[in-house]
Chains A and B, each alone.
Chain A
Amino acid sequence: MSPPHQPTSINPNSLKIQLAYRFLHNLNNINTKRSNLDHTQINRKSHRVKVAAYASMAFVTGSRRAWSRSILRKIRNRGVLARIKKRVDHKASRVRVHHHLNARSTKRRNPSCSNPNGDYIDPSGNLGLEVKLRKLVPGAVMMDACGLLDETADYIKCLATQVEVMRTLVDLYSTI
């Protein structure tokens, strides 16, 4: 789709299309995998939709970007973890999995990475802004400033496209 090293080479149209298809795919998967979705809490479903959205974003971007890699890793870990926990304890695992899922979007799955968002001043004098950004963008915690900005740009692009796709879908479904 685009060379991995150029941040500006992603064609938004093709990205949108790929995202849309992948998103639908993921939604469908989620809906089919967990058949209790439709009639259970909206929160859970919305969370799954959100996960599907991020998953589709990461899948479309593939392994080119660190943020997509980290998201994919999280999802796989989550899936594995969920399966393991299900085997151990059906109900308890579900609760834990949901908790983890809820916390997925802004934090790393690894609990050891929980950094308090203190406004300490970085050596660069950024007042922790950079750290905030690192937390927001998945997979960019251990990256130099240059790469961080690259990842952020790509992440923003993909996020914006995903938002657009979702908005279109919502409009579409709301008009039916």
Chain B
Amino acid sequence: MAGDDEIEGGNRDEEQIHYNSANLSADWPFNGTNELTNTSMSNPMSNIWDHHPTSSQNLGAFCDVNLQNNPTTSSSSLGFRKGNLLVPQRSLDMGWAPPDSAIKRGGMFLPPAASAMLPHSLSQFPADSGFIERAARLSSFSAGNFEDMINPFGNVNDSSLSPYSSRSVQGQAQEGFVGNGFKSASGDGSKDMSLPVDCGANDGSQPKQGGSGFSGNNGTGDAEYSEGGGQDGNSNEGLGSKKRRRSGQDTEYNQAKRSPQTPSDTTKNNTEVQQKADNTPSSLVNKSGGKHGKQAQSSDAQKEEYIHVRARRGQATNSHSLAERVRREKISERMKFLQDLVPGCSKVTGKAVMLDEIINYVQSLQRQVEFLSMKLATVNPRMDFNIEGLLAKDILESRLGPSGPLGFGGDMAMPYTPNQSQMAVMQAGIPGVGTSSDAVRRTINSHLMALGGGYKDHTSQVPSSWDDELHNIVQMGLNPGTPVSSQNLGSTPPGHLKAEP
């Protein structure tokens, strides 16, 4: 303990600089308030580096990684900084012992840093006495607990550096400290309170690595818990069973309220304990949220242990009901898509009403088809219709070839087909209403050949819209005298005409 103070005091200034230089490179949005904490945090970190060269390197790397990983949200980065401040205080006493163990474990770099940071934070917060009390209390725990307690710090590191199983626990432990710290500090203000809260947030954002699958979830859960009650609730819902898997280390950080538990101990307790700790600070920040978070978490934790599909709060977790829920979600997703398709259905909610609208729309579309077909039959009783169809068919057969319309790229034959159909219309006008389809076809082909390449100009002007093309067809039909440049119409051998089905 004395050594701790020594270390903290001596290296504070130096390491502050080190840390700042190292960490400022990360995108931490430092506020005025945060800078103070940041510097304090930097000191402990650099302290650790000095005292534990091996770990310091890792820690530095971790700090950078952490910092870089956390710029996503100012709150999370804030939390990280603040959390580091507070947590180290507590772990300071234990920090020096546990760092060895942590290092042994191979991943706990942060705890030493945290412990080093304690002195700074202690100096900054008027409630240092409270922290020290907790540190003492924590130090009274068994050595295994120390390791576990340190884990939260190392957890943050681990998440970024190496996949240690204690990751999640560490994060939660961190939060536990924070909560405790807040409890004692209480009067420090929102800033302090938010510090440890965000600590968890950092943790949450970090642990996405493989390791144990639940660790990531736990981290996020922790982060969310710390951030606020409302968030806690959400996070709880999202995390579900995975939170239960948290090691017992979480409980340790809940201040002297309960005996420390080994990481392998009941995860439930850990989650609950952690939630308590989280709830405390969160209650200071957001009372209702913490309660919700805890309740949600416990309820979620109790709900599913091994199922990877998350059951929402208040929902049955029977495998049948889960499958049913998945099926319902699929159906609702399709209904949403249909909503976009059917015009004027954006405000409609409810499956039955939506179905009704869809049915009406389909019926109206079918009626429209019928009406339009009747109109087409009346409007175009002549063979112009056929000729155009003939030409289109010929073009289809010649252009599309064996691939058929399905393989139709659309753009390739497009410039040709409209022109050819235009010419078809033109041709139709010339021979008049054909007597037999073959005769008409022959006439058309001959005319097409005569016209040559035809409408290269038109091909280059591929109309943007289909309507334009059709209008071009009409225009071509009305202007048979338009000069036609040579085209690949010759590529349409008359033999293709016979290939009609």
Question: Which residues of chain B are within 8 angstroms of A45 by Cβ–Cβ distance?
Answer: 377, 381
Question: Which residues of chain B are within 8 angstroms of A43 by Cβ–Cβ distance?
Answer: 374
Is the beta-carbon distance between A24 and B389 smaller than 8 angstroms?
A: yes
Given contacts A28-B386, A146-B331, A137 and B378 within 8 Å (CB-CB): no
Given contacts A17-B410, A156-B341, A53 and B369 within 8 Å (CB-CB): yes
Is the beta-carbon distance between A136 and B501 smaller than 8 angstroms?
A: no
Chain B residue nearest to A15 (CB atoms) is B410
User: Chain A: how many interface residues by the 8 Å CB criterion?
Assistant: 70
Is the beta-carbon distance between B466 and A29 smaller than 8 angstroms?
A: no
Given contacts A62-B406, A153-B338, A170 and B366 within 8 Å (CB-CB): no
Given contacts A17-B410, A24-B392, A32-B386, A156 and B362 within 8 Å (CB-CB): yes
Is the beta-carbon distance between A159 and B369 smaller than 8 angstroms?
A: yes
CA distance A84 to B210 in the complex (A): 68
CA distance A45 to B385 in the complex (A): 13
Smallest Cβ distance from A116 to chain B, in angstroms?
Answer: 17
Is the beta-carbon distance between A53 and B380 smaller than 8 angstroms?
A: no
Q: B131-182: which residues lie under 8 A (CB-CB) from chain A?
A: none
Is the beta-carbon distance between B382 and A24 smaller than 8 angstroms?
A: no
Chain B residue nearest to A135 (CB atoms) is B359
Question: Which residues of chain B are within 8 angstroms of A155 by Cβ–Cβ distance?
Answer: 362
**Per-residue A-contact encoding for B355-367, CB less than 8 Å = 1, 0 else:** 1101101110110
From the candidates A26, A160, A172, name the one contacting B365 in the complex (CB within 8 A).
A160
Smallest Cβ distance from A37 to chain B, in angstroms?
Answer: 8
Is the beta-carbon distance between B396 and A172 smaller than 8 angstroms?
A: no
Is the beta-carbon distance between B393 and A29 smaller than 8 angstroms?
A: yes
CA distance A137 to B362 in the complex (A): 8
Smallest Cβ distance from A145 to chain B, in angstroms?
Answer: 6
Is the beta-carbon distance between B356 and A129 smaller than 8 angstroms?
A: yes
From the candidates A31, A127, A150, A167, name the one contacting B334 in the complex (CB within 8 A).
A150
Given contacts A18-B410, A42-B378, A129-B356, A163 and B477 within 8 Å (CB-CB): no
From the candidates A1, A129, A153, A172, name the one contacting B470 in the complex (CB within 8 A).
A172
Smallest Cβ distance from A7 to chain B, in angstroms?
Answer: 6
Given contacts A25-B389, A29-B393, A46-B373, A126 and B380 within 8 Å (CB-CB): no
Is the beta-carbon distance between B368 and A130 smaller than 8 angstroms?
A: no
Q: B335-357: which residues lie under 8 A (CB-CB) from chain A?
A: 335, 337-338, 341-342, 351-352, 355-356
CA distance A105 to B368 in the complex (A): 13
Q: Say yes or no for A97: interface residue by CB 8 A criterion.
A: no
Question: Which residues of chain B are within 8 angstroms of A166 by Cβ–Cβ distance?
Answer: 368-369, 372-373, 376
Partner-A contacts on B (CB < 8 A): 327, 330-331, 334-335, 337-338, 341-342, 351-352, 355-356, 358-359, 361-363, 365-366, 368-370, 372-386, 388-390, 392-393, 395-396, 405-406, 408, 410, 414, 417, 421, 437, 466-467, 470-471, 473-474, 477-478, 500-501
A–B Cβ pairs within 8 angstroms, 15 of them: A1-B408, A14-B410, A24-B389, A26-B389, A28-B388, A32-B386, A38-B381, A42-B377, A42-B378, A54-B369, A129-B359, A159-B366, A163-B368, A167-B372, A172-B473
Known: A17-B414, A21-B417, A42-B378. 19 other contacts (CB 8 A): A1-B408, A7-B334, A13-B410, A17-B408, A18-B410, A20-B466, A24-B389, A29-B501, A38-B383, A43-B374, A50-B369, A137-B362, A146-B331, A163-B365, A166-B372, A166-B373, A169-B376, A170-B375, A172-B474
